[in-house]
Amino acid sequence: AFLGLGGYYEWGESGDDNPANNANNHYAWTIDGTLEGHGFSLFTAAVGRHNAKDAPPLDQYGFLIQASGKIPRDMELYSRYEYFDFGGLSVIGNGSPVINSEVNVVTVGINKYFNRHGAKLNVELMRILDPFPVSRTMLGVLADGADSKGQTVLRSQFQLFF
């Protein structure tokens, strides 16, 4: 079993020639844990970032839980649940407001290992259950409209030397 904790604190700046650059204190945190044994693993993590800026304040949270198991020794099935609360903003600072602040995501996938762990093929199916407020094209996710019912993404990648 493993447990990890982390934190970050940044003192705000003020007095800049441009008042838009003034920022209040910002902090972020994470906690995660892993449990492994007999070809099975369970991972969970929670993260948050916050500031005390008057307009708009930032309060973003997220967590995930993932379980996986080896089926033969060279294949691994996994499933994951993720929750994000964007806190009404897409990014830190002067982030643009988002349509939907809370997003739930369910993923199932399989890893196939070659030459022990010399290479890996990954295929996963991700279902975003709510409208996703921002585009993340590297993940294959596009911003949804307000009336969207979410989206489904099929991704695959082949890795060498990981």
Residue 97 has pLDDT above 80, yes or no: no
**2-16, 24-38, 59-73, 105-119, range with the lowest pLDDT:** 2-16
| Highest-confidence segment of 21-25, 31-35, 56-60, 69-73 | 31-35
Residue 56: Cβ within 10 Å count: 15
Interacting residues of 57 by C-beta distance below 8 A, sequence separation 6+:
50, 51, 87
Residue 21 has pLDDT above 80, yes or no: no
pTM of the model: 0.82
Tell me what pLDDT residue 92 has: 46
Structure tokens at 155: 């991704």
Separation of alpha carbons 61 and 80, rounded Å? 17
Residue 62 corresponds to which amino acid? Answer: G
- 162 vs 17, more confident: 17
Separation of alpha carbons 32 and 86, rounded Å? 20
Structure tokens at 86: 């964007």
For residue 151, give the H/E element and its range. strand 151-160
Q: What is the mean pLDDT of residues 17-35?
A: 81
Residue 99 has pLDDT above 60, yes or no: no
Express each pLDDT in 126-154 by its tens digit: 999 988 877 788 888 888 877 788 899 99
Q: What is the mean pLDDT of residues 109-129?
A: 93
Tell me what pLDDT residue 53 has: 67
Tell me what pLDDT residue 93 has: 44
